């Protein structure tokens, strides 16, 4: 059995995972793991952004700024 050395370089690890995923059995396993790992909440969202309610850098994180951050976060999640 061949064992890949554990790589601490993230881009290199991703390349290794992608090469492993080229084998159909491994690809199926990875798909199953990912499908079981990702769960939606009651609103159908997979990930949410929770903003602090305290002061940040001497500026209030008011409702308008929170809304802008939430919209940008939602757009980012939709892209990826």
Give the pLDDT of residue 47.
80
The answer for residues whose C-beta is within 8 angstroms of residue 70's C-beta and 6 or more apart is 49, 51
Give the pLDDT of residue 72.
92
Give the pLDDT of residue 61.
76
Give the pLDDT of residue 23.
93
Mean pLDDT of the region 39-55: 77
Mean pLDDT of the region 28-46: 80
- Per domain, the residue ranges of the chain are 1-38, 40-80
DSSP 7-65: P--HHHHHHHHHHHTTSHHHHHHHHHHHHHH----TTS-S------SS-BTTB---HHH
Map tokens 């609103």 to a residue: 43
pTM for this predicted structure = 0.46
């Amino acid at each position: 059995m061949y064992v890949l050395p554990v790589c601490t370089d993230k881009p290199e690890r991703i390349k290794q995972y992608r090469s492993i995923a080229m084998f159909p059995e491994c690809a199926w396993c990875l798909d199953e793991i990912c499908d079981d790992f990702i769960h939606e909440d009651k609103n159908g969202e997979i990930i949410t952004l929770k903003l602090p309610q305290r002061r940040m850098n001497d500026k209030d994180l008011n409702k308008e700024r929170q809304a802008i951050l939430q919209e940008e976060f939602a757009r980012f999640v939709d892209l990826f």
